[in-house]
Amino acid sequence: MQSTFARGLELFFLFVLLPVSFLFSYPTPIKAGLTVTGFVYILFHLKRSGLLKIRFPDRMYWKPFWKETIIKLAIVIIITSLYVFWIAPDKLFSIVIKKPILWVVILFVYTFLSVWPQEIIYRTFFYDRYESLVKNKWLFIFINAVLFSLAHIFLRSFLVQLLTFLGGLLFAFTYQRTKSTTLVSIEHAIYGNWLFTVGMGEMLAFPGAD
């Protein structure tokens, strides 16, 4: 069992120092190497803890999960649709209309190659390793959301930082209650795929319809 100091140091290196370092100019192969090394390190610990297995959550979680997710999605749909219509009306659903095949590809890539890795890192691993370090669950959710947002700092976009922080709060809250990587990944994929659908993909560094 690692000491509190060792885990705190690990957290700082993986979730603060590493993402912030991407703001600086140094060889891309080194950045890629550090990222892969960190990810492999995380997978090793998850495998050792038996947390890489696909587990379906208890039936008791599904009904409230879908009820809450649909309500939150409706709010997200209203806010983001109005935002895109106001800021860039030409982008509203443009990728669905102009490049439907690209849209489908983006949804697939995002769901399986972005959402799942993010959730096993920032929820499954993060909670397993560091939850015991912070006794207040609300403070822990806040810290998790801040660090999740920090992971996207290399995109140098305030909008991305804001969206990922708010998303981090929602995802951490879901994982806090269910401890289900499956449920939180579904929720993450739903909100994220909607953002691409409504026309905010380019703001999130994904290809657009132009």
Does position 205 have pLDDT exceeding 80, yes or no? no
Q: What percent of the chain is helix, strand and coil (3-state, nearest 5)?
A: 80, 0, 20
Q: Sorting pLDDT into bands at 50, 70 and 90, what band is 60?
A: confident
Q: Sorting pLDDT into bands at 50, 70 and 90, what band is 170?
A: very high
CB 188 within 8 A of CB 167: yes
CB 165 within 8 A of CB 149: yes
Angle, CA 69 vertex, CA 95 and CA 65 arms, to 5°? 140
Does position 72 have pLDDT exceeding 80, yes or no? yes
**Can you give the pTM of this predicted structure?**
0.92
Residue 28: both structure tokens together: 């891309």
Reported as a single tens digit per residue, the pLDDT across 180-193 is: 999 999 999 999 99
Phi, psi of 60 (to 5 degrees): -65, -20
CA dihedral 92, 170, 103, 70 (to 10 degrees): -80
Residue 15: both structure tokens together: 């979730």
Q: Sorting pLDDT into bands at 50, 70 and 90, what band is 92?
A: very high
Q: Poorest-confidence range of 10-19, 50-59, 118-127, 138-147?
A: 50-59
Reported as a single tens digit per residue, the pLDDT across 5-55 is: 999 999 999 999 999 999 999 999 999 999 999 999 999 999 999 898 877
Give the whole-angstrom CA distance, residue 146 versus residue 164.
9
